[in-house]
Copies of this chain bind each other. A is one copy, B any other.
C-alpha cells in the first residue's frame, strides 16, 4: 500500500528540472502544469531562475514549505546525493525517473544498491528507478514524462516496462480507454506490484486492473493480494519473460516435472487472474472488461450482415467452453419475423445479409426486449463493408442503444474510420476480427463465472500439526516407521514394506508384515516389471518366497542387464490394477504445491499430471484427480474398476497441509500408491521426504 501523499500529494519537487524543451526534466514540469496539478510545484535546478514560470531552488532543502513527493531525474551517479537531501527534508515518497542502474550492468547495480540503502536509512519510499513515473488522472497528477495525458476513467495500470506504458497510453488514446491510476514501476527497488495492487482493491475509481510484469517480487504475497483483488474486480495480467530457463535442479522426480510456467499458470488460475498471452490480447481484454458488464450466464448472440464471418464466429465460439449460443424465445422470434425483411432467417448467428440497414440492426436490438428474462449475456455484431452498407448509421444505432453487453467487429480497413470513431466515443469495444472478439468475450464469461462461484475454505482438524511435530522432532532424517507415522497423520497410509538383499532378510520381513506378500525388484531403471517377471504377487509362505526370490532378481538382470538394482522389496499383498503417484515441492516464487498423476509414463511421457498450490482442499483435490486424462483408468474405462477417489483426494489435501505446516520440508514424492479394490482406500508403497538442506541440523 502507498498512502495518500503518493497519489494525491500537496506539493512536489522536481529534482533535475530543466528549462530546455528537449529534456525529460522539462517534460516533467510541463506535464504537471498541463495536467492542472492542484498542489505546489518546485523545480530544483542550480542554474535557472525560473522554469515555465515556476521559481527554481538549488536544493529541496531550500524550499520553505514541506514536500510530499520528489520526482528525481538527475544523472544516476547523483541520485544518492539528492536522495539524502530528500531525507533531511523528510520527504516520504520519491519517484526516480533516472536510468543507468541495474539495467545497464555491474556499475549500475552498485549505484542502485547505494540508492536503496540511502532510501532505507531515511525511510523514503521509492518508485523506480528507470521508470516513466506515475499518472493519476483522477487526481490531476501527471508525474511522468509521457507524451500523452490519458483520459480519466476506470482502468488502473501497473507496468514494469516504461515502453509498454507508453504503448498502452498511445493505444488507449486511440481506443477511448481511460485510467484511474497509471504506474510505471521500473527497477522496483522498493515499491512493487504488491503495494499498488493493494491500493486498487478498495479504490472505488479503479474498476479494472491491468498489469504488465516481467518478474514477480514476492510470489506468496502477490497471490494473496491477487486473490483478494480478483474477487472485487477483474485483474488482467500480461506476464512476460516466461521462456527464460532458471529453475534449480530438481531432486525429487515427480515434482521436478512441474516447471516454472506450469506452477505460474496454476497460481494465476487459482487466484482468478485473467492472463493475457500477448500485448494484443491484453489490450483487447482491457477494452472488454472496462466497458462490459459481468455476465449472468454465458449466452452469446451473433448478428452479422454476411455469412462468411458468421461461419468464422461460429467456429470460434464452438472452441470456447465458456460460451454458448443464445436461443431466441418464441415471442422474440415472432417480433423479429415481423420487423425484419422476409429473406432473413431468424436464428443465431442472425445473418441480416448484405442489404442490412441500420433499421434492421435496431429491430434486432428492440425485438430482444420481447423476451423479458430471455436475454443474451453478450452480443457480437459484425459488419462487413458491402455495396450499400450504411456503416456510419449502423454504428450510430449501436451507440445509441448501448447496453454494456455488445462488442462490434468491423471487418475491413478504410471504410470503417468513421464508425471506429463513433463507437470509440460511445465506449463500445471494437475488433478487427471475429476470432479475437470471441476470445475476449469468452474471458469475460469465464471471469464472470469465477465471480459467481463461492470460495471454498476447508478447516483442517486441529492437532494434526502437533502430532506430526512430535514425529519429526526437529530431525531431518526419518526412519521408515516414523515416515509412515508422519504421512499417516496427514491421511496418507503407508504399506508395511522392507527393502531386502537376500531371501533370509525377505522371509524375516514377510513374517513381520504378514503373508500374502509381494516381491518386487527395486530399481529406478526397470519399467516393465510385470512383463519380465521382476515382480511376484501373492506369495503365501516362507517356502514359496524362498523359491522365487532369486528368480525375480535373475529375471530383472536378464532383461535389464544395465539396470541399477537396489534390492528386492517385500510388501503386503494388495490387489490392484492401478498405481498412482502424488508429490509436493516448493516453487521459488509461489511456494508449495502438490502434484498428482498416474505413475511412470503417464507423468513422464504424456505429462498427464495436475498441480495445485498448497493448501489444497479435499474438493479441489477431487477436481484435480478428475482433471487428468488418465482419470478414465480410475473410473471404469473399458469395464475396468471404478475406484473411490475420496481417500486419494484426502491424501493429496493432507500432503498440501503438511507442506504448509513444515516449511523445512522441500520435496515429497510418494510413488507408487496402490488404489485398493475393496474400498479400504489407498496404500502408499514408497515415499521420500526431503528436508531443506539449509534448515538441516
**A-to-B contact residues, CB < 8 Å:** 22, 24, 27, 99-100, 103-105, 145-148, 159-164, 166-167, 169-175, 212, 214, 240-243, 277-280, 305-309, 311-312, 314-316, 318-319, 343, 345, 353-354, 384-388, 411-416, 432-436, 525-528, 530-532, 560, 562-563, 577, 600-601, 605-606, 608, 629-630, 632-633, 637-640
Could you tell me the distance in whole angstroms from the C-beta of A454 to the nearest C-beta in chain B? 32
B-chain residues with CB within 8 Å of residue A170 when the two chains form the complex = 385, 411-416
Other-chain residue from B171, B432, B562 in contact with A280 (beta carbon distance below 8 A): B432
Among B307, B433, B563, the residue within 8 A (CB) of A279 is: B433
- Contacts A24-B387, A243-B318 supplied; 15 other A-B pairs, CB < 8 Å: A146-B387, A163-B306, A163-B354, A164-B308, A166-B306, A175-B413, A278-B433, A279-B434, A528-B577, A528-B640, A530-B531, A601-B632, A601-B637, A605-B632, A606-B630
Q: How many whole Å from A69's CB to the nearest CB in chain B?
A: 20
Minimum CB–CB distance for A166 against chain B, Å: 5
Complex CA–CA separation, A525 to B640 (angstroms) = 8
Residues of B within 8 A of A162 (CB): 306, 308, 354, 386
Contacts of A173 in B (CB 8 A): 413-414
The answer on a CB contact under 8 Å between A163 and B384 is yes
A293 to chain B, nearest CB (A): 25
Q: With A24-B387, A413-B171, A414-B170 in contact, is A639–B560 under 8 Å at CB?
A: yes
Chain B hits for A605, CB < 8 A: 629-630, 632-633, 637
Measured CA separation A639–B637 after assembly (Å): 29
Q: Which of B105, B308, B414, B436 contacts A160 (CB 8 A)?
A: B308
9 A-B pairs in the complex with CB atoms less than 8 angstroms apart: A163-B384, A164-B306, A170-B415, A240-B311, A243-B314, A277-B435, A528-B640, A601-B630, A601-B633
Distance in Å from the Cβ of A420 to the closest Cβ of chain B? Answer: 11
Q: How far is the CA of A530 from the CA of B577 in the complex (A)?
A: 10
Which of B280, B527, B639 contacts A526, CB < 8 Å? Answer: B639
A443 to B315, CA, bound (A): 22
On whether the beta carbons of B528 and A435 are closer than 8 Å, the reply is no
Compute how far the CA of A146 lies from the CA of B167 in the bound complex, rounded to whole angstroms: 35
Known A-B contacts A24-B387, A605-B637, A639-B562; A311 and B241 likewise in contact (beta carbons under 8 Å): yes
| A279/B171 in contact, CB under 8 A | no
CA distance A629 to B169 in the complex (A): 45
Q: Is the CB of B280 within 8 A of A433?
A: yes
Question: A629: which of B432, B527, B606 is its contact (CB, 8 Å)?
Answer: B606
Complex interface: chain B residues within 8 A of A166 (CB): 306, 384-386, 411-412
Most buried by B among A171, A413, A415, A608: A413
CB distance from A374 to the nearest CB of B (A): 25
> Chain B's nearest CB lies how many Å from the CB of A549?
21
Given known pairs A243-B314, A309-B163, the reply for A435 and B279 (CB within 8 Å) is yes
Q: Which residues of B contact A305 (CB under 8 A)?
A: 163
What is the CB-to-nearest-CB distance from A517 to chain B, in angstroms, rounded to a whole number?
18
Q: Roughly how many angstroms separate A262 CA and B205 CA in the complex, as a whole number?
A: 48
Q: In the docked arrangement, what's the CA distance between A562 and B629, Å?
A: 24
Q: Would you call B103 and A307 a contact (CB within 8 A)? A: yes
- A575: nearest residue on chain B (CB-CB)? B531
- Cβ contact within 8 Å between A315 and B242: yes
List the B residue with the shortest CB-CB distance to A417.
Answer: B174
CA A278 – CA B437 in complex, angstroms? 11
The residue in chain B whose Cβ has the minimal distance to the Cβ of A387 is: B145
CB distance from A359 to the nearest CB of B (A): 16
A27's partner among B163, B387, B600 (CB-CB below 8 A) is: B387
- A562–B641 CA distance with the chains assembled, in angstroms: 12
Asked if residues A22 and B278 are in contact (CB atoms below 8 Å), the reply is no
A358 → chain B closest CB, angstroms: 15
* CA–CA, A309 and B160, complex, Å: 11
B527 touches A240 (CB 8 A): no
| Complex interface: chain B residues within 8 A of A411 (CB) | 163-164, 166-167, 170, 279
- Pairwise interchain contact B414-A309, C-beta atoms closer than 8 A: no
Closest Cβ–Cβ distance, residue A25 to chain B (whole Å): 11
A415-B170, A560-B639, A639-B525 given; A309·B164 CB < 8 A: yes
Residues of B within 8 A of A345 (CB): 104-105
Please provide the 4 A-B residue pairs with the shortest distance between their CB atoms, ordered closest to farther. A161-B308, A163-B306, A170-B412, A174-B413
Chain B residues with CB under 8 A of A385: 147, 166-167, 170
Closest to A600 in B: B638
Rounded to whole angstroms, the CA-CA distance of A212 and B527 in the bound complex is 49
A355 (CB) vs chain B CBs: closest residue: B99
Asked if residues B315 and A163 are in contact (CB atoms below 8 Å), the reply is no
A213 CB to closest chain B CB (Å) equals 10
Q: Contacts of A319 on B, CB cut-off 8 Å? A: 243
For A353, what are the chain B residues with a Cβ–Cβ distance below 8 Å? Answer: 99
Q: Which of B527, B532, B577 contacts A637 (CB 8 A)?
A: B527
Distance of A416 Cα from B167 Cα, bound (Å) = 10
On whether the beta carbons of A163 and B307 are closer than 8 Å, the reply is: yes
Q: Which residues of B contact A161 (CB under 8 A)?
A: 306-309, 311
In the bound complex, how far is the Cα of B454 from the Cα of A188, in angstroms? 53
**How many angstroms from the CA of A528 to the CA of B600 in the assembled complex?**
17
Interfacial chain B residues near A563, Cβ < 8 Å: 639
Which residues in B have their C-beta under 8 angstroms from that of A279? Answer: 309, 312, 411, 432-435
Tell me, rounded to whole Å, the shortest Cβ–Cβ distance linking A483 to chain B. 26
CB atoms of A311 and B415 under 8 A apart: no
- CB-based contact B240/A308 at 8 Å: yes
The residue among A162, A311, A434, A525 with the most chain B CB atoms within 10 A of its own CB is A311
Question: Which residue on B lies nearest to A163, using beta carbons?
Answer: B306
User: Who on chain B is nearest to A159 by CB?
Assistant: B308
Report the separation of the CA atoms of residues A591 and B354 in the bound assembly, to the nearest whole angstrom: 36
Complex Cα spacing A24 to B562, Å? 80
